[in-house]
Amino acid sequence: MDEGDRPTDGDESADRDERNRSESATAHDGGGGVSDELEDEASDGAGGDAPDTEPEPGSRPEAGSRPEAEQSGEPDCADAHDGASHGADSHDEAPRDGEDIATKAGLGSTRSSDSDPDESFLYRFRHDREGALMWIREMLSSVAVVLLVGLLLFGVSGVWPPMVAVESGSMEPNMQVGDLVFVTEPGRLAPDAAENGVGVVTHEVGQEVDYRTFGSYGSVMIYTPPGRTGSPIIHRARFHVTEGENWYDRADDRYHNAVDCESLANCPAPHDGYITLGDNNGAYDQASGLSPPVRAEWVNGVARVRVPYLGYIRLVATGQVELNEAIARTVGSSLSPASSGFSAAG
């Protein structure tokens, strides 16, 4: 090689100065080190061979030029930070909306339960299908229904209680032990044949006008004579007498064993009243000494309708009948009189 073709010392020094400036600018802008290619070029330059060609594609950018992503790095980071914050806010808002929806739907969320325990208890009391709350709700509902029915019956009958239980067999076969009988107050729902303020049609009048109740003529009334400590008596009114009346001739001799008025109890009549008889009894109540002639003010009510077996509920609850005896009676088993335990109502 000729000396004319070799680079001069001045040119070599100029090339090194230019490369040094490029390396300094790259280190300042890129924040990194010097690339391997520049180091090779520096080595070649020190050896005397300086390339005079363009940088190959794929090499690092020239000093002073920064990628667009790096030039706009700070705004992009800020936008990314804002987006992350917005995403976090959206993530926080979703559960809150879910809780509100669950609370509105009545699903009993934890927040609703903590803030309003009374509402949660009421919801469980109304909707539980098992457990203690369900049993309490059903029991209270049953009691409420019974009371409601009782109030309705009271409104119709005008007496309380509006129903009585048959305790003895004195009215058989027309009333059975354990029947529940609906009664009305004296004078209420009285038939046209009742020509008195009590609403009672006697057996004697019932035969004349063909008025029947509970399998026979006349009305069945509930009455309590003075001094009686037991249950009221449920018997049929046979006929009405006035004070001082000799009613021996009007009486059916099948229901007394007297030979005249003097031998018949309560004859002549001590006061106005009804002569009564249980359909299954062999003597008038007045002939047997069970009661004097029944005054109108002693009448508690008039029997209207009977419901079989429901009266056992009251009889068992009050201890007048044992549960096994009530069950035996209900299914038709026969019991001996000694073990029946039924109290008489007449």
pLDDT in tens, the chain (346 residues): 444 444 445 455 555 555 656 555 454 454 444 344 444 444 444 444 444 444 454 444 444 444 444 444 444 444 444 444 444 444 444 445 444 544 444 444 444 444 455 568 788 777 778 888 888 888 888 889 888 887 887 777 777 778 899 999 999 999 999 999 999 999 888 898 887 889 999 999 999 999 999 999 999 999 999 999 888 999 999 999 999 999 999 999 999 999 999 999 999 999 999 999 999 999 999 999 999 999 999 999 999 999 999 888 888 888 878 888 788 877 764 444 433 333 336 5
Nearest to 153, CA basis, from 289, 307, 317: 307
Return d(Cα 191, Cα 85) in angstroms, integer. Answer: 88
What Rg, from alpha-carbon coordinates, does the chain have?
Answer: 56
Q: Residue 208 has what pLDDT?
A: 95
The first and second tokens of residue 44, run together, are 């070649």
Q: Residue 257 has what pLDDT?
A: 94
Return d(Cα 167, Cα 320) in angstroms, integer. Answer: 8
DSSP codes, 276-332: EE-TT-SS-HHHHTS-SSB-GGGEEEEEEEEESSTHHHHHHHTTSS-HHHHHHHHTT
Using DSSP, state whether 212 is helix, strand or coil.
strand
Q: How many CB atoms lie within 10 A of CB 244?
A: 10
The first and second tokens of residue 270, run together, are 């001590």
Q: How many CB atoms lie within 10 A of CB 9?
A: 9
Cis amide prior to 161 (ω within 30 degrees): yes
Q: How far is CA 328 from the centre of its chain?
A: 34
pTM over 0.75: no
Contacts of 51-59 with CB under 8 Å at 24 or more apart are: 59/35
Q: Residue 190 has what pLDDT?
A: 86
Using DSSP, state whether 236 is helix, strand or coil.
strand
Do the beta carbons of residue 168 and residue 343 sit within 8 Å?
A: yes
Return d(Cα 99, Cα 327) in angstroms, integer. Answer: 55
- Expressed in percent and rounded to 5, the helix, strand and coil fractions of the chain are 45, 10, 45
Return d(Cα 335, Cα 328) in angstroms, integer. Answer: 8
Q: Residue 21 has what pLDDT?
A: 63
Return d(Cα 266, Cα 87) in angstroms, integer. Answer: 103
Partners of 305 in beta bridges: 182
Q: How many CB atoms lie within 10 A of CB 290?
A: 21
Q: Residue 111 has what pLDDT?
A: 46
- Which 8-state DSSP code applies to residue 253? G
Q: What are phi and psi of 158, to 5 degrees?
A: 85, 5
Q: Residue 138 has what pLDDT?
A: 86
Q: Residue 314 has what pLDDT?
A: 84
Residues 6+ apart with CB under 8 A from 104: none
Q: Residue 66 has what pLDDT?
A: 47
Q: Residue 137 has what pLDDT?
A: 86
The first and second tokens of residue 334, run together, are 């026969």
The first and second tokens of residue 50, run together, are 């300086």
Q: Residue 37 has what pLDDT?
A: 46
Q: Residue 118 has what pLDDT?
A: 52
